[in-house]
Amino acid sequence: MRNFLNFLIRYHAFLLFLALEVFCLSLYFRSSAYPNAVIMYSANQVAGNVYLRYSNLREYTRLGQRNDSLASENARLMALLNMAQLQDSVVERLVSDSAQRPLYRYIPVRIIKNSITSRNNYMTLDRGSLHGLTADMGLITDEGIVGKIIATSEHFSVAMSVLHSKFSSSAALLPAAQYGADPGALPPAASQPALSAQIPDVDFPAPVSQPASPGEGSSGQAPVLSGRLSWDGKNPRMVQLIDIPGHVEPRPGDPVFSSGFGTLFPAGVPIGLVRELRQAPGSYFLELNVELGPDFSRLRHAYAVTYLYKEEQEALENTIDD
């Protein structure tokens, strides 16, 4: 016993070091098991308020740019209003389900902290559970998808960025031939002012909207090709789109959208443009490098989007999984 006590006293620093390391490592490797421990994240009061103040301070330097991007977003939305369109047809554009009830709800948020330098990046938002945000809502900007909310406190939320090893989302590829653009007409990346301006406004063929009638099938409207989006951690401008079947021939410049599978994002939200493609040796599937539409180093205003039929859809899907 005395020897044991001597041992403890002699090596107390080393033993304390071991205990603390075990504690830190278990916290690190199991942190995804405690998503409710908001205090561990920047959604806690202290970190949230520091970032809120700092971002308010910095915002003044970028007001002009923000106004421009909000104005162009408004212009695009106004073009979608009925009064901006010539009504010579009885077919209406479907923006909600057939009974004209809303499918998605959008909550405007500000991104007060964001990182792109880590392997696993997170954002902090200035809205929390008091404002209706919950975990598992998608986060988009007018230029594309940016992340997914994983934890909320009363006034702040933390979102997992697209630039995170655990981020995964279904994405659809729209080969240029399908929306009628000439792929050769797209100039190379270097001469482009803004990538988001290049992503075409297309009537995205919603994968679940209506069963294809025989007439449509013959018109050459191929099904949307969907794959899985993830990030390899190398370049914060490029994400990878995998599991695209090898029989299609996507080209650099083809736009990539959210597919609407899953409950995170509506169909047709832009993601980016295909830049490179390669086929893994011995594999049937292609892996594409997709340049992200939003500039992740300048994210500011975003929308948390929630799918109103999410619980019903997931409950149904869970009955099959089990």
Q: Footprint of other proteins on this chain (CB under 8 A)?
A: 12-14, 16-17, 20-21, 23-29, 31, 37, 39-42, 44, 46-47, 50-51, 54, 115-120, 122, 124, 158, 233-236, 297
CA pair distance 133, 244, nearest whole angstrom? 33
**What is the nearest approach in angstroms of other proteins to the Cβ of residue 113?**
8
How many Cβ atoms from other residues are within 10 Å of residue 250's Cβ? 20
Nearer Cβ to other proteins (279/297) = 297
**What is the nearest approach in angstroms of other proteins to the Cβ of residue 139?**
14
CA pair distance 195, 255, nearest whole angstrom? 11
Q: What b-and-e string marks burial along 168-182, b requiring 16 or more CB atoms within 10 Å of the CB?
A: bbbbbbbbbebeebe
**Enclosing H/E stretch for 176:** helix 176-179
**What is the nearest approach in angstroms of other proteins to the Cβ of residue 42?**
5
**What is the nearest approach in angstroms of other proteins to the Cβ of residue 142?**
23
Nearer Cβ to other proteins (61/318) = 61
Nearer Cβ to other proteins (117/318) = 117
CA pair distance 169, 41, nearest whole angstrom? 23
CA pair distance 39, 314, nearest whole angstrom? 29
Nearer Cβ to other proteins (55/72) = 55
**What is the nearest approach in angstroms of other proteins to the Cβ of residue 33?**
11
**Enclosing H/E stretch for 257:** strand 255-258
Nearer Cβ to other proteins (114/263) = 114
CA pair distance 210, 221, nearest whole angstrom? 13
